[in-house]
Chain A
C-alpha cells in the first residue's frame, strides 16, 4: 500500500504512431475512466500528479517506459495495475508497479537505455564483417555529428554517449543493432541519431526498419539499476 507508485509500461506496434504528449493525455484519460483516486496539483489549472521518465518518440516501440503517479488514498500496485489496464487501449499496458518514496524523481533518475534497432542494407553481409565494422566505428575517439540541443543544432561528439554496440543477424532479412546508450534529461542519445552517425561514418546505406526500447536504467553508485529497483531511494 502506498500513496505513490512507480510503474513500468510497454507500447507495441499498434500505438507507436502517437507522440509523447499524446501518450500523456492517453494516460490522463485512462486514469479518469478507471476512476483511480489520482492526486491533483493545486492552483488554477489542476493537473493529475503523474510524471513520465523519458519522452517516447513517434515510431518507437518499448517494453520499458516508466512513470510515477500519486494518489489521494492508499493504493496497492496490484489494484492499480488491474484497474488501469482495463482502461488503457490495446497497445499500451502497465506491466509492473512498486511503491515509490520520492514521487516525481523519475525524470532525473534515467541515465541510460538499451535499444534494439532493426535495419537492412542493400548487399548481404555476414555477421563477422558487420561486427568488424561496428568495432572499427567504436574505435574512433571522436564521432562528431550535428545534434539538436537546447541551443539549436550543434556539433556534438556522441562517442562518450555510446556505452556498447553490437550487431547480430537473426533469421530472415536484416540485422539487429543492440545499442546501450546514454539517456535522460542530460546527454540523451537518440537511437536514430546513432544510426545516422553509423551510416555516415561507415558509408553503409542502411535503412532503419524499427526501433525498440528494451530497457531503461538509473545510475546507482556506478551500477545500472531498473528505476523500480531504486524506488525506495
Chain B
C-alpha cells in the first residue's frame, strides 16, 4: 500500500517527461532516471521547502561525493523539507535536452530546477564552475544573480572552493562557508520565516547574512587600485559582518551521518560505503588547502563508526567500505577500531578499502587482511623529489622512509607502486625535478632483488601534477609556474626517465588546465565576466581534457580586458589585500605568513598531535586543540 502511494505521488508530480527515443540514444541512461534504492520519496505538496542539491559534474562523479550524501540525509530528516538531487547532464544528454526544450530537472520528482525554493551547488573543484552556469541555464534559472526576482529560486553554494567565493559572486545569491550540516538548518528555518513574512528577495538575503558562515556577495563592495589589486572589501550595510567566519561542527558524533545512502544502479567512481573517520588533518603540508581549511582535527568515535558500518551494510547491501579522511593513519584509535571493523566485514563478506594510509608494518598487515582482492597498486605521495623541497612544503617524509615503505610493500607482494609528485612548487630547481626521476630509479634498483623473489617485476608509475597555489595556504602569495616552464619540466623529466629505465611509466597533467584552475582558485569577482563569456562560448566540463579549451578561456580573458597571468603567475606581497580576506577560516593570516617564511628556510613545523603551532583554529574550541589543551592543563596543574 505504501509503495503504491509513493508511486502515485510520483506520477502526479512528474513534470519532465522522458521517453525511450531520448534515453536509448544516450550513454548510461540510468544517470537521468533516478529511482535508486534509498532515494527519498516525499509528497512535494506536503513540504514547505524544496531544496535542489546540485553537483556541477556528471552523475558518476557527483554520486561519489560524501558531502552530498550527508546533506541529503540531514535535510530529508526534516518533515518540512524535501531535498532532491541534480547533476550536470553529460554533453550527449544536454544536446537532446536543448533540442527538445527539456529543462534540467531533479531526479527525485523530475521537477524543473526553476521550481525549487533553494538550489545549492557544491564547489569541489574550480574547473566545474562553468557547469554551474550551464545547469542554471538548462534549468530555466537566470544565470546572473541580479536578474533573479521573487519568482526564482535562491542559488547558494558551499564546499571547499567556497573559501574564495569571489569568482562566482555574480552567479550565487549566498555562499555557505565551512561545514554545512548545522548551518543548513538555520538557513531553512530562515527561509520558512521569510516565506511566511512575504518579504522581498533582498530581505531574505539580508536575513541570512546574519547567520554565522553565510556570505552574501551582493552586500559587499570591492574597491580596486588601478593596477587591478584590491584596495578594500567593504560591507554595504552595517547589518552585515565585516568578516564571515567559517562554520565548524564541534562534535562529529552529535551530527547525523547517513547510513541509508542512495545505491546507484550504475557504477560510480566511489561506489561504496564511506566512513568518515575524522575531519581535518594534523599534518600541515604547506601546499595543501584541505590541511588548513578543515582545521581543527575532530574525530568520530570508534563506537559510532562501527555502529555506522553495520547499519550501512544492512541498509545498502554494499560489498565494500572505505575509510575516508585526509590521512587515515592519523586516526588515534586506528588499530582497535580496525580490529573490530574487520571482524564484522570478514563475516559479512564486505571488503574494506584503506586509502591514504602511511605504509608501515602495521598498515601493510591491515591492508592484507582487509582486502581479499588481488594486490593491486599501492600509492605513495612524496610530492617532491628532494629532501630540501620536501622540507619546504613540510612533508615529513624522508628518502629512507619511502625506500623502506616500498621495500616492505614489494616484499609483501605488491608489485605495482604509484608515486605522486608536484611540479612547480615554490623554490623548485631543476635539481629537484631530477630528484623525482632519481627517486623512481633508485626504488626500481633497490627493489630488484625483492620483486624477483616474488616472481614479478616491480612496476613504478610516476605522476606529476602541476602545483596550484590555493587560498588559505602558506603559498597563497606565490606565483605559479607559467605553462612553458611546467611543460619544460615535464619534458625534462620524461627524457631523464626514458634515458635511464623502461620500468617507469610517467604521467603528467595538462598544465593549461592547471593554469586555469590557478586563476579561478585565487580570482577576484571581476572573473565573473570571464567565466560568463567562456560559458557563452561553450565552456563546460572544463575539468575533462576532452572538453577543455585553453584558447576559449584566453579569448574570454581578452574579451573582458583581463590577463590570466595576473591571477596565476603574479607574486603577491604579504601586505596585499587578497580577494578572500573578508573570509575567516580560523587559521590566521599571521600563521600563514610565518609558515611561508619557514618554508623558505626549509624549517619544519610539528604536527598538531605532537604540539600546537598556534595556527588560530583553537577559536573553534573543538577537536584536537581542545584535547591538547586539556592535556597540557592537566600536565601543568
Bound together: yes
The chain A residues found within 8 Å of chain B, CB to CB, are 14-15, 17-19, 22, 25-26, 28-33, 35, 40, 44-46, 48, 58-59, 87, 89-91, 209-210
Enumerate chain B residues within 8 angstroms of A15, measured Cβ to Cβ. 35, 265
> Quick one: given A45-B373, A46-B372, are A90 and B35 in contact (CB under 8 Å)?
yes
Assess the A29–B372 pair: CB atoms within 8 A: no
Enumerate chain A residues within 8 angstroms of B316, measured Cβ to Cβ. 29, 33
Q: Give A91 to B267 CA distance when docked, in angstroms.
A: 19
Of the listed stretches B22-30, B297-305, B420-428, B442-450, chain A binds B22-30
Assess the A17–B374 pair: CB atoms within 8 A: no
- Can you identify 25 A-B contacts, CB atoms within 8 angstroms? A17-B29, A18-B265, A22-B30, A22-B265, A22-B266, A25-B265, A26-B265, A28-B317, A29-B37, A29-B263, A29-B317, A29-B318, A29-B319, A32-B313, A32-B348, A33-B314, A33-B316, A33-B317, A35-B314, A40-B349, A44-B373, A45-B373, A45-B374, A58-B24, A90-B7
Min CB distance, B369 to chain A, in Å?
13
Assess the B263–A209 pair: CB atoms within 8 A: no
Is B20 located at the chain interface by the 8 A CB criterion?
yes
Q: Give A171 to B164 CA distance when docked, in angstroms.
A: 61
Interface string of B315-333 (1 = CB under 8 A from A): 1111100000000000000
Assess the A44–B314 pair: CB atoms within 8 A: no
Enumerate chain A residues within 8 angstroms of B1, measured Cβ to Cβ. none
Q: Give A17 to B265 CA distance when docked, in angstroms.
A: 9
> Quick one: given A29-B316, A44-B372, A89-B36, are A17 and B30 in contact (CB under 8 Å)?
yes
Enumerate chain A residues within 8 angstroms of B317, measured Cβ to Cβ. 28-33, 87
Enumerate chain B residues within 8 angstroms of A30, measured Cβ to Cβ. 317
Is B33 located at the chain interface by the 8 A CB criterion?
yes
Is B3 located at the chain interface by the 8 A CB criterion?
yes
Main secondary structure on chain A at its contact with chain B?
Answer: mixed
Enumerate chain A residues within 8 angstroms of B36, measured Cβ to Cβ. 89
Q: Give A168 to B266 CA distance when docked, in angstroms.
A: 36
Q: Give A101 to B266 CA distance when docked, in angstroms.
A: 33
Assess the A59–B24 pair: CB atoms within 8 A: yes
Min CB distance, B222 to chain A, in Å?
47
Min CB distance, A109 to chain B, in Å?
27
Min CB distance, B374 to chain A, in Å?
6
Min CB distance, B270 to chain A, in Å?
15
Assess the B20–A59 pair: CB atoms within 8 A: yes
Q: Give A89 to B38 CA distance when docked, in angstroms.
A: 9
For B20, B265, B266, the residue with the greatest tally of chain A CB atoms inside 10 Å of its CB is: B265
Q: Give A90 to B39 CA distance when docked, in angstroms.
A: 11
Enumerate chain A residues within 8 angstroms of B20, measured Cβ to Cβ. 59, 209-210
Enumerate chain B residues within 8 angstroms of A91, measured Cβ to Cβ. 35
Q: Give A172 to B7 CA distance when docked, in angstroms.
A: 26
**Taking CB as reference atom, which chain B residue is nearest A59?**
B24
Enumerate chain B residues within 8 angstroms of A48, measured Cβ to Cβ. 349
**Taking CB as reference atom, which chain A residue is nearest B351?**
A45
Assess the A90–B3 pair: CB atoms within 8 A: yes
Q: Give A55 to B377 CA distance when docked, in angstroms.
A: 32
8 smallest CB-CB distances across A and B, nearest first, come from A29-B317, A32-B317, A33-B317, A17-B29, A18-B265, A17-B30, A18-B30, A22-B265
Min CB distance, B555 to chain A, in Å?
39
Q: Give A49 to B542 CA distance when docked, in angstroms.
A: 43
**Taking CB as reference atom, which chain B residue is nearest A21?**
B267
Enumerate chain B residues within 8 angstroms of A19, measured Cβ to Cβ. 266
Q: Give A89 to B264 CA distance when docked, in angstroms.
A: 11
For A30, A33, A40, the residue with the greatest tally of chain B CB atoms inside 10 Å of its CB is: A33
Q: Which of B24, B29, B374 contacts A44 (CB 8 A)?
A: B374
- Which residues B1-41 have CB closer than 8 A to chain A? 3, 7, 20, 23-24, 29-30, 33, 35-37
Min CB distance, A192 to chain B, in Å?
10
- Which residues B258-281 have CB closer than 8 A to chain A? 263, 265-267
